[in-house]
Amino acid sequence: MTRIGVLALQGDFREHITVLRELGAGAFPVRLPSDLDGVDGLIIPGGESTVMGKLMVAYGLDQPLRDLIAGGLPVWGTCAGLILLSRETDNALAGQPLLAAMNIRTCRNAFGPQRASFETLLKVPALGETPYHAVFIRGPVVEQAGEGVEVLARLNDDETAGETLNSSGPIVAVRQGPLLGTAFHPEVTGDTRFHDYFLGIVREQARSQ
């Protein structure tokens, strides 16, 4: 059985665990470095990126995570997790730790405060033709995607949501090898395609090693 750890220091880790178990994966919370033993993949959930990052350091998880990522561990960051995976973020709060694993620059809370949260349809070719219903909760955006980063989805800026992969809208989903990042919350939608996609990355990585 595929073993997926979900960073459980803060945020909506329970929802990810529930979805993964429904898909037949072995999913469990990660709070200490020892919890990383034997993982095939890891999800860093949404939450508050500064709090999550500081707790990651406090519990001694930051360097073990960097080492595992450098060794090819598939990791998926959603919302705050995307920020933590970023090489840099242009509006981080003081003391924000980053794993600096993906060649991207992000902007925190790109759409404003909690009350500015929204839902929309995204065209995500990697998931098939059916538009993906995405939930943004104080979501970031990827301001810059560098070498080796594949753009999976952008926000549409007109009424054609879900019909085209808009070439100019803000980037909200990216992949860099075995690393995946989404600015929204797939764990709350009932659509399991992104979780399936990540499990496919995990299986692909296992076959290549």
Catalytic residue among 16, 79, 107, 195: 79
pLDDT confidence tier of residue 128, bands split at 50, 70 and 90: very high
- 79 is an active site residue: yes
Q: Give the chain's mean pLDDT.
A: 91
CATH of 3-208, one of 3.10.580.10, 3.40.50.880, 2.40.50.180, 3.30.470.10: 3.40.50.880
Q: Can you count the helices (H) and strands (E) in the chain? A: 5, 12
This prediction's pTM: 0.92
**Which stretch of DSSP H or E encloses residue 208?**
helix 193-208
**What does the pLDDT read at residue 161?**
42
- Tens of pLDDT, residue by residue over 186-199, are 999 999 999 999 99
Percent of the chain with pLDDT over 70: 90
Catalytic residue among 15, 107, 187, 195: 187
- Tens of pLDDT, residue by residue over 80-104, are 999 999 999 887 666 788 999 999 9
- 133 is an active site residue: no
Burial class from Cβ neighbours inside 10 Å (0-12, 13-18, 19+) for residue 5 reads: buried
- 107 is an active site residue: no
Higher-pLDDT residue of 160, 110? 110
Catalytic residue among 15, 16, 107, 185: 185
| Chain centroid offset of residue 63 CA | 19
